[in-house]
Structures are given as structure tokens and as C-alpha cells.
Chains A and B, each alone.
Chain A
């Protein structure tokens, strides 16, 4: 799997794609693969505040419960309502099935995140250990 270069990645396996002052957040292919069949996605409502590095939601597979960590601080402007009824879309298309859109509070926070190439290297090490 190659990771799209139009976005940045966290070591907790979220991706964030910036479009001006707004950004879209989801989880990576590695994350969905590790979780297995995803059956539940819970994200905050429009208007909620995300703080960088803090949990903002939950993804559950049949077997596991996993926290979502905010790749950047910001205010939720939109949630992907489709995932409430079709959480398996995250398995099918992890880099297309976004979870929330936010307006960025401090875009410079993204400088600390990984590029696609660095993230790929990171997960290769994590999987290979």
C-alpha cells in the first residue's frame, strides 16, 4: 500500500489533508488493517474543539476499541455521517473515508507530522519488529 502524498500522518495512524484553512481527518490503511472489521465510528459533533494529540473519538472493530487522536487543533465543521451506518467503508477505502473536517487553529502544528514517505517507513518498522 502506498500512502497518498497529499496529506500528513501521525504515529497514532491518523491522516490529515489540508485545504486552505480547513482540513480533513481519517485513519490510515495500516490502522484499518490492524483493527480488522470496523463496526463502529464515534466522532464529536459539529462545533466541538479538537486539541492536538488528544483523543477526539473512537473506532471499534469486532475485536478492538481504538481511540482517535487529533493530528491538529481545530473546530469540527463537518462529520462523515455515512460512517454511522456504514463503518466498514473505513476498511474498504481508509484514505477516502474521512471522519471529520476541521478548521485549523494553528496550521504550524502540522510541521511536526510525518510525510507519506516517513509514515511508510514508520509502519514498516512497526510491522516488522
Chain B
């Protein structure tokens, strides 16, 4: 196992050449050269990609996400110590949304914890926090009989998202996907590759899967292209980070550095239901106990613009008298909802649904109102 490696200037996933060949518009995201959107000739463009995921199926290269494996007799104890959700509730093959916290109760990162075997867990972590997360997990689990491995460069991770995602993926695998519930994983043959991990997870507030295939360039390109080819009958669209962001925003899914960070705690971020205080111990618990009795000074709310204008990340939120009361963490037009929406931190007295506020856009206060979140909730399947 190596120590923290030096970070090269800009990193690329092994599918980088494929994206460029497809004519994707590339941007730097957290040190990665990633597709932000694909050309209209391929059904792309942020709005079209967003709509494809809401109504059909879209695929994303999310190989910039990192992966940490914890395995050994005390793997559960280690995971329990470093994460806020209760991993003891996970059956083999089950996954949960959770977070790694600093002792202050603020965020190292949010993660998906997968229980792969009796004493084996896989944490899927964010791109921008890969090295930090791995070092933090390794340093905070030394007291446990458990191996910690950074598998971030071992996988190409492809997300197949949208109501038709299950139908598309089923054409390429022998695993019975209908038996895999939301936030469960399975393994099976995928595009001729054996024992491939497939999780019914995602970051789009839609049904879908994330698959983890070996990160060699030829295999990754072949699988990506096969998914696109087989997906034609479902109208599959390749999707970039632009749509990924608007999709997750409609679903109120947090983004590290925006809704959560090392200065924001769990209660402020409104992630209470993923934080299991009844667990006897985990890093951050004591501070959260204190913070809970002290009460929060700011809380994350959903805003909808009631006047012309688009709230953007970092814009100030003002009260009716134009006093600054908070800031926008993520703001954008919402392509499916066709509204201009935002997430923002404001004092609790401004958090009630229906509270009118303003967003400062180029020096002018534009009207907005606090609305319930998530802004978008996918329709329940009628069986």
C-alpha cells in the first residue's frame, strides 16, 4: 500500500479519448478533465441529457469517483467508527448513503457504503476528495484488524440512469436485475466480463445502476460503446457533468464543497436521517451531540425564484429588507421542473416553506420563496 501520491495537474479517466472522439465538450472538474455535455448530434446538450434521464435513460462516465475497500475481521467496527450511518444494518449486498465526519461533526466527504461480503465493505467517494478521504480512512482505522485499500484507479465506473436504465442493462447481463432493490448490489456477467459489481444506485434522483468494470482502456471503451449500441432502442443518451449536476440538484442530493464541506455540520445540511446517533460511537458524534443541543445557526433550504433571474452558486440571499442573511450553495435552471431553483443556507427563522426572500443577482435583489425539497421526487413504480 502506498502513501498519498502526488497529484498530477489534470487527470483523465480511461474513457477520456472516447469522450473526445464523441465530440463532448470537456471541462476541468475537481482536477479531472471530464465531459460536461455531448453534442446535439448525439442527443446531447445539458437539457436534452437531463430529460433523457428523467424520461428514458442516460449514461455517465463517473470513473473519477474513488473507491476504498475495507476488509478483515474488524471491517464493520472500522466502518462504524468512521461513518455516521449505521453499517451494522447492512445485509450482504446492501448499500447505504453515509458520510465521513471530522471530530467537529463537519464533512470529510459523503459516501455510499456497500457491504460486499461478511467482512468486506466498499466506500464510493468523491473525485475531488479522493486522496484526502483515503488518507483519512487509513489514519482513522489503524486500531482495527482490517485492511484498507485504495481501489480508485482499478475501476471504470459507468452510471446507467433513468426509468429505462434497468431494461437497458438487463440486455447486457445475466444477473436478474428485477431482483435488485434500490440501494442493493449484485454481481454478474456484463458484456462478457465475469463477476462485475452492479449497484442500483446513482446521483440523479432517478432509478438506475452504477457498474464497476476493470479500468483498462480497451475494455472500458468496449463496454461504454456496447451500452450505447444496445441502448439505441431505449433512446439512450450519453450524459456529462452538466446534467449530472442539474439532476442531483432537482433531487436535493448534496455536492461536496457546496451543500456539505469541512465547515458545515450534519444538522445544518439536514442529513439527520443518515446520521445514527444511537450508535455508541463514531468520529464526530460528540461534537454533533453538543451542536444539537446548541441548535443550528443556519440551515439548508430549497428556493424557487419568483422573479426573473437565475440564482447561482455563491450568490447572496437577502431578506425582505435586503439585508444579507445567507448564500446559495447550488443554483441553476431546473430542466425537468422548468423553474429556476437553488439550495441555500439561511438562518432557521427564514427556513419555513413559503418564506419570501431575495437572491442578489448582479447587485439586484430578485424575489424567491422557500419551497419544500427535494424539488423533484421520482414517481413511485406502479407494479
Contact = CB atoms under 8 A, between A and B. Distances in A.
B22 to A, nearest CB: 16
Nearest to A37: B47
B312 interface: yes
Contacts of B242: 36, 62-63
Given A36-B46, A37-B46, A62 B335 contact: yes
B311 to A, nearest CB: 11
B25 interface: yes
**Interface size bucket, B side?**
10 to 19
A68 B333 CA distance: 20
A58 interface: yes
Nearest to A65: B312
A123 to B, nearest CB: 15
A99 interface: no
Tell me what chain B mostly uses at the interface: helix, strand, loop, or mixed: mixed
Contacts of A40: 309-310, 333
Interface string A58-71: 10111101000000
Given A62-B335, A63-B46, A63-B242, A36 B362 contact: no
B362 A62 contact: no
A72 interface: no
Interface string A23-61: 000000000001011011000000000000000001011
Contacts of A58: 362
A34 B308 CA distance: 23
Contacts of B309: 40
Contacts of B245: 63
B190 interface: no
Given A40-B310, A62-B47, A63-B46, 8 more contacts: A36-B36, A40-B333, A60-B310, A62-B242, A62-B332, A63-B242, A63-B245, A65-B310
20 contacts: A34-B25, A36-B25, A36-B45, A36-B46, A36-B242, A37-B46, A39-B333, A40-B309, A40-B333, A58-B362, A60-B310, A62-B47, A62-B332, A62-B333, A63-B37, A63-B46, A63-B245, A63-B332, A65-B312, A84-B308
